[in-house]
Amino acid sequence: MFNNISNIWQKEVLDIIRDHKALRQMLVVPLILGIFYAVLNPLLGSLIESRQEDTLVLPVQGLEYAGQDFIDTFARFNIELKPFEGDLEATITSAEEAAGLIFTPGFSENVADEQEATLIVRTNSTSGGLFGGGLSLNRLELALNAYNQQITVQRLTERSVDLAVLAPVTLDAEDLASPAQRAGAAASFFLPILVAISAVQGGMFIAIDVTAGEKERGTLESLLVTPSSDTEIFVGKLAAVFTVTGIPIILTLLGFWGASKVLPESMTDGAGALPLNVILMAILVSLPLALFANVILMVISIRTKTFKDAQSALTPVMLGVMFTAMAAAFVPPTGASLAYMVPVYGTSAVVGTLTLGGIIPANAVMFSVIGNLMATAVGIIFALQIFNRERLLYSM
């Protein structure tokens, strides 16, 4: 039995190696995918931070009423107040500007006389796209709060009031996150999804090729008339699919780690790359998930008649994996929960915790591995019910 499985495994692996185009895709695409995910999150963070540090130019009507103190306070927050001619509210409504200020007459005099001074702020949160108006408003609110505090301090000082009454409680804050944890914060969302996608995507086209692809080419029929049993044929093909799935997973995660090591500190805030042991643990827990995914891919593919049909049938599987991995990022299991045994969800939750440098709940890794292996066993039992000569030959 072992010899038959080994022969089928060798035959499928050699067929894969002979397909040089597919082999290049299998080796190059995972590396590119890992590098892309490693760079994407720090790059987005760097772009957002750069936008926040850029000078913010705000159109203003009635700037002559503002007073120099107000203008100087906003300048400290890198906000430039620029006089505007025309209908400012209409301009903001049309999203040509993200925000604008309107000073009412007598603004600075009212502030000096300790009377109510009205400042009109108009914003459009849709201006500038996803990273547009909201960021402008946040910085504007900080500048306004600083100006209010400055005026309050001046008034209390004039009245000889101890400024300590403004802050009865002082805050001593310190970020205790280690460099490893800060490096993991950038990867805690992307890496679990990357692991789940790699486990499915890495073996998808191979699983299709050794099932629906062989049915379409007519080579599966000749294999079924050999002395090998149905179980031996299925296990041999599964072993070949799993073999070539493990390589993209390893390449993807090592590519992620390697790219994060060479990123400049300006993009990672000095956090550096994830520790190598986190990547190795991620590979360890993803391999049982990959085996389960391979079984599911083969079960679905063998029920189709052409390569194209199988691709269409497996699209929902990829979407389901992505959504499940995202669910683990947003709603992780609590404690040593049996939820870690749920395929995809449990593995993604373990990887997410690893990247943050947190303490893995007791038995979480074991639950994840056992859950995937149990699901694999159930999948194999079901697969063997349909992977037999009668059904396969009849379906062809």
Tell me the CA distances in angstroms from 135 to 47, 55, 122, 257, 347, one per residue in order.
13, 12, 14, 31, 35
Q: Of the candidates 120, 135, 165, which is a domain's last residue?
A: 165
Q: Of the candidates 102, 130, 165, which is a domain's last residue?
A: 165
Same domain as 296, residue 187: yes
Same domain as 193, residue 297: yes
Kindly give, in sequence order, each residue whose CB lies less than 8 Å from that of residue 98, ignoring residues fewer than 6 positions away: 92, 123, 124, 127, 128, 132, 133, 136, 137
Same domain as 288, residue 335: yes
Give the span between the Cα atoms of 357 and 44, in whole angstroms.
22
Question: What domain range is 321 assigned to?
Answer: 2-44+179-395
Question: What phi and psi values does residue 341 have, to the nearest 5 degrees?
Answer: -85, -10
Q: What is the pLDDT along the chain (396 residues), one digit of tens a residue?
A: 777 778 777 777 777 667 666 566 666 666 666 666 566 665 555 555 555 556 778 888 888 888 888 888 888 888 888 898 888 888 888 777 878 888 888 888 888 888 888 888 888 776 655 444 445 567 778 888 888 888 888 887 877 777 666 666 655 666 656 665 665 565 676 778 888 888 888 788 888 888 888 888 877 777 777 777 878 888 888 988 898 888 888 888 888 777 777 766 655 555 556 778 878 888 888 899 999 999 999 888 888 878 888 888 888 888 888 888 888 877 877 766 788 888 888 888 888 887 776 567 768 888 889 999 999 999 998 888 877 666 665 555
Tell me how many domains the chain contains. 2
Question: Which CATH number do you get for residue 66?
Answer: 3.40.1710.10
